[in-house]
Chains A and B, each alone.
Chain A
C-alpha cells in the first residue's frame, strides 16, 4: 500500500519504520530541522520528503496524488485537520487518518475536515488506565472498534468464586462469553464441563456493563461486592 505520513515525531516516525518493514511504500513529510536530523538517523533517506506538509507544493513533491492513505500525525491539531481537508478536496486521497493531540479538539475530527479515521491518543491511554484502575486484575487486550465490547484477560485468584466450578454451573453476565482458557502451557477450549482452576488465565469477550460482574466471578473474593446477608 502507498502511505503518505505527515509529521516525523514519535508517532509518525515509528509508524513509518513499522510500515516500511512490512514492505509498504511509505513516504514521510517533515520540515522542522531538529526533527529531520533525528529521523534521518532512523529511516532510509529515500522515505523522507523535506517540506511543510500543509504546503501544497510539498504534497505534490511527495506525490500525494497516488497515495492510498494519508496519515496526519503532526503535533498541531489544526495542521492535521487542514491537511486532511486539502488531501481529500484537492488531491482526492481515498482515505485519511489523523491523530488527535488535544482531546478538546476531538469534535472537529470528522467529515467536516474529511477525516475518515481519528485516533484520539489521550483518550485511548486514559481509558486503558481507567480500566486498569477500576477492575481488579482484568486487562483489556483489545477494544473492538464498534460497540462497547472488549477482549479482556483475567487470571483467576485462588479464592475466586468461579474456581472449582464447571463452566456450565457458573452464571455469567448476559453480555460476556469466555473465548479461551490458558492453563500452564495449554489452551483449553471452554466447553461446559471444563472446570476453572486457580491461576487459569481466562480470555473473554465482554461489554462495559458486564465487565464488573465478570471481575466478581474471577477476581479475588475481597474485590467482589459483598453479598446482602454479609452486610450486618
Chain B
C-alpha cells in the first residue's frame, strides 16, 4: 500500500515506522526538516521537506498513487484542510486526520472527516485506569464512545447473579470465561471465583459498573 503521512512529530514518526516495518511504501512530509530526527533509523520510507499545502507538494509525494493518507500534524485546521484536499481533489480512498486539541474536534466533525483524537483518547485511558482499576478496556469502538472491558469478578460478587451486577447500567455482557472456557452469559448465571467477564459499555456505564464492583452503589 502507498501511504502518505503529513507531519513528522511523535505520532507521525511512530506511524511511519510501523507502516514501513509492515512493508508499506511510506512517504512522510513535514515543513521543518529537523522533524525527521523523530524517525527511527529502521524507517525505510521517503521523506519530503516541504509545506504540505503548497501547490504540487502532495503530488510530488505521490498522492495520485496513494491508497491512504494520514494527516497528523499538531494543527487541527491544517489536518482538516489536508484531509479535505486528499479526499476531494485527489480522491484518496482512505484518509485519516488526527484531532490534536479536543476543542477543535467539532471542526473535524463538521467537515465529515474520519479523525482520531489522540489527546482525548490518551487522557480517557488514563482516567479509566485511575478511576476503575477493575475494568480493563480491551477494545475501543469509534473514538472510544463504546468500549469492550475485561472484568475480573471480585470476591465480593461471588455467589451473586450476573444480572444483579449489571442491572440498570447501560452495558451489555458479551461473554463469561470460566476455567479458560468462554460462553455467552445468561443473566441468571451465578458468578464464581476466578470468573472473567467481558462487557461493552459507554464511558458512563463503565463508571457505574466500576463503582458497583467496588461495593459502592451506582
Chain B binding surface, main DSSP class: helix
**Within the complex, which residue of B55, B78, B85 is in contact with A104, where a contact is CB–CB below 8 Å?**
B55
- List, in ascending order, chain A residues with CB within 8 A of B54's CB: 104-105
User: Which A residues, 95 to 128, have Cβ-Cβ distances below 8 Å to chain B?
Assistant: 102, 104-108, 112-113
Choose the segment among A40-48, A79-87, A185-193, A204-212 that binds chain B (4+ C-beta atoms closer than 8 Å): A79-87
| B107 with A112: CB separation less than 8 A | no
What is the chain A residue whose CB lies nearest that of B57? A104
Chain B nearest CB, measured from A95 CB (Å): 19
Beyond A78-B77, A112-B88, is A54–B107 a contact (Cβ under 8 Å)?
yes
Beyond A105-B54, A107-B55, A112-B88, is A78–B81 a contact (Cβ under 8 Å)?
yes
B163 beta carbon closer than 8 Å to chain A: no
**Within the complex, which residue of B77, B85, B88 is in contact with A54, where a contact is CB–CB below 8 Å?**
B77
B141 beta carbon closer than 8 Å to chain A: no
A184 beta carbon closer than 8 Å to chain B: no
What is the chain A residue whose CB lies nearest that of B77? A78
- List, in ascending order, chain B residues with CB within 8 A of A113's CB: 81, 84
What is the chain B residue whose CB lies nearest that of A55? B106
- Interface size class on chain A is 20 to 34
User: Which B residues, 45 to 89, have Cβ-Cβ distances below 8 Å to chain A?
Assistant: 51, 53-55, 75-78, 80-81, 84-85, 88-89
B104 beta carbon closer than 8 Å to chain A: yes
Chain A nearest CB, measured from B63 CB (Å): 14
- List, in ascending order, chain B residues with CB within 8 A of A78's CB: 53, 75, 77-78, 80-81
Chain A nearest CB, measured from B124 CB (Å): 21
Chain B nearest CB, measured from A151 CB (Å): 31
- List, in ascending order, chain B residues with CB within 8 A of A105's CB: 53-54
- A56 to B80: give the CA distance in the assembly, Å: 14
**Within the complex, which residue of A90, A102, A104, A108 is in contact with B81, where a contact is CB–CB below 8 Å?**
A108
| B103 with A82: CB separation less than 8 A | no
Chain A nearest CB, measured from B86 CB (Å): 12
- A113 to B51: give the CA distance in the assembly, Å: 19
- List, in ascending order, chain B residues with CB within 8 A of A85's CB: 84, 111
- A90 to B112: give the CA distance in the assembly, Å: 11
Q: Which residues of B contact A (CB under 8 A)?
A: 51, 53-55, 75-78, 80-81, 84-85, 88-89, 103-104, 106-107, 110-111
- A55 to B108: give the CA distance in the assembly, Å: 10
- A85 to B51: give the CA distance in the assembly, Å: 21
- A108 to B51: give the CA distance in the assembly, Å: 13
- List, in ascending order, chain B residues with CB within 8 A of A55's CB: 103-104, 106-107
| A57 with B106: CB separation less than 8 A | yes
Chain A nearest CB, measured from B7 CB (Å): 13
A201 beta carbon closer than 8 Å to chain B: no
A30 beta carbon closer than 8 Å to chain B: no
**Within the complex, which residue of B53, B103, B104, B106 is in contact with A108, where a contact is CB–CB below 8 Å?**
B53
| B107 with A81: CB separation less than 8 A | no
**A54-92 near B? 1/0 per residue, CB < 8 Å:** 111100000000000000000011110110011001100
Beyond A54-B104, A90-B110, is A82–B53 a contact (Cβ under 8 Å)?
no
Beyond A104-B51, A104-B54, is A86–B85 a contact (Cβ under 8 Å)?
no
